[in-house]
Amino acid sequence: MSSLPPLAGPDSDVSLAPRSARLGERSIVGVLWVFAAISIVTTLSIVFVLLEEGLHFFGQISIVEFFTDTAWRPFGDLDSEGFRIGVLPLVSGTLLVTVIALLVAVPLGLASAAYLSEYASARVRGILKPALEVLAGIPTVVLGYFALTLVTPALRTVFSPESINIFNALSAGLVVGVMIIPTVASLSEDALSAVPDGLRAASYGMGATKSVTIRKVLFPAALSGIVSAIILAMGRAIGETMIVSVAAGNLPTLTVNPGSQIQTMTGYIVQAVGGEASRGSLTYNSIFAVGILLFVMTFTLNIIANRIVRRFREAYE
């Protein structure tokens, strides 16, 4: 009888690793490295262009005036009497739309996530979750015209034409909120589904109802994922362009009245690149200054989300 070769153990000199990487594996690693490098270079290029053009702007405009002036009238000559370059109206308009959107998306999104995770059957979940995520694929320009032609007339009927302008922050915020519901609902449902069943069983064993279990056990256990979903949705609301461009208007106003016409940061960028600013002018460079501020805001939100995830993440074995 022929003897079998000894098996490789932890102290054996025999290695199970291949002596050389196969050509196909080396090719795949090389392709993945190229794709990763392209992503990094693209991101750095975007930051470089923003900073390069933005520095031309801040070379002529004081950064203190940019952040403290309460009027935004960047069209015209720098020395003209009506020229004002304070970004506060754009920031306030962006935050006003974002707050309204979150007031819509967070309760509806969390309620949808709780239903899909804890109440819906597997068959119903398999139908509703893809249908909900299809909402995220609707072109935002379509949602913008929906806000302008349906939501705004409805608001003017419910309230009054004097209190709700044709272009207003309320209709834009409501529709942006509808747009980000799938983000909140889908990511929150994933976070709730990841909670171990043992926690549910322990809660039910103590006599808790399903609603109490969701509020007192599942939501705290999935807090990091839920907060990340909300912050991600908030970042998307801040960066939304077409809905606010169509429905909110293009009048920069420092106001908290949701019925007023406002202009967001992305809305101004669309207006400026639409032909009203010649390349190389101060107005053209202001696009990149606003872009830098928008980039800093969204980047800060991502950092906050990462810190919250690390702070409240629950590890289960």
SS3 85: strand
For 45, the token pair is: 């290029």
pLDDT at 17 (0 to 100): 55
From start to end of the chain, where are the E strands? Answer: 72-73, 84-85
Distance CA 240, CA 262 (A): 14
pLDDT at 316 (0 to 100): 56
For residues 241, 247, 252, 255, the Cα torsion angle rounded to the nearest 10 degrees is -110
Contact 258/37 with Cβ under 8 angstroms? no
Contact 231/209 with Cβ under 8 angstroms? no
pLDDT at 12 (0 to 100): 54
Burial of 90 (0-12, 13-18, 19+ CB in 10 A): buried
Supply the Cα-derived Rg of the chain in whole angstroms: 26
Residue with the two structure tokens 């839920």: 226
Contacts for 131 with CB less than 8 Å, ≥ 6 apart: none
Contact 235/295 with Cβ under 8 angstroms? no
For 174, the token pair is: 């409501």
The rounded Cα 9 to chain-centroid distance in angstroms is 51
Q: What is the pLDDT along the chain (317 residues), one digit of tens a residue?
A: 455 555 555 555 555 555 555 777 888 888 999 999 999 999 899 888 888 888 888 888 888 888 888 888 887 777 777 778 888 999 999 999 999 999 999 999 999 999 988 888 888 888 888 888 788 788 888 999 999 999 999 999 888 888 889 999 999 999 999 999 998 998 898 888 888 888 888 888 888 888 888 888 888 888 888 888 898 899 889 988 889 988 988 888 888 889 899 999 998 888 887 766 667 677 888 888 898 999 888 888 888 878 877 776 665 55
pLDDT at 111 (0 to 100): 92
Among residues 266, 238, 235, the alpha carbon closest in space to that of 250 is found at 266
Number of C-alpha atoms within 13 angstroms, CB side, residue 96? 27
Per CATH, the architecture of 84-312 is what? Orthogonal Bundle (1.10)
pLDDT digits (tens, 9 = 90+) for 238-264: 988 889 988 988 888 888 889 899 999
Q: How far is CA 90 from CA 32, 70, 168, 182, in A?
A: 40, 10, 14, 26
Number of C-alpha atoms within 13 angstroms, CB side, residue 310? 6
Question: Which conformational region is residue 312 in: left (phi greater than 0), alpha (psi within -120 to 50 degrees), or beta?
Answer: alpha
Distance CA 120, CA 122 (A): 7
Q: How far is CA 303 from CA 229, 235, 299, 310, in A?
A: 13, 12, 6, 11
pLDDT at 4 (0 to 100): 53
For 34, the token pair is: 């190229």
SS3 40: helix
Contact 167/244 with Cβ under 8 angstroms? no
Q: 73 forms bridges with which residues in the sheet?
A: 84
pTM recorded for the entire structure: 0.83
Q: What angle do CA 278, 289, 97 make, to 5 degrees?
A: 105
